A = this chain, B = another copy of it.
Amino acid sequence: MSQFDNVAVVKKANVYFDGKCVSHTVILADGTRKSVGVILPAKLVFNTGAPEIMELIDGACLVKLAGESEARAYKGGESFDVPGDSSFEIEVTETLHYVCHFG
């Protein structure tokens, strides 16, 4: 699905890393919160509270989870899981469009 239907969208965005990451919060009919966002080409470290599933809509990146020694490549159409209370290093090589699902 290329869009979320029947959801609420918070008008004010979430802006991280001086705008290298911009997301909007989406609230599904059952109250579940997700975010739709973009990460521009950059190398960033994100910390997680809740576990996350990063669903990549478009773009490409290299991801190294905390404790892993090697980065893995992901691209649009793929997704990766991040444990809660953890972090991951992401190198965006092609502007990344994503949906973040919180566990």
Q: Which of B4, B10, B19 contacts A11 (CB 8 A)?
A: B4
CB of A99 closer than 8 Å to a CB of B? yes
Contacting pair A38 B15 (CB below 8 A): yes
Interface size on A, residues (CB 8 A): 30
Bound-state Cα–Cα, A99 to B10, Å = 11
Binds B, one of A21-29, A46-54, A67-75, A83-91: A21-29
- 12 CB-based A-B contacts, threshold 8 Å: A2-B10, A3-B10, A3-B11, A6-B6, A9-B24, A9-B26, A12-B57, A13-B36, A19-B40, A19-B95, A22-B38, A24-B24
Bound-state Cα–Cα, A42 to B27, Å = 30
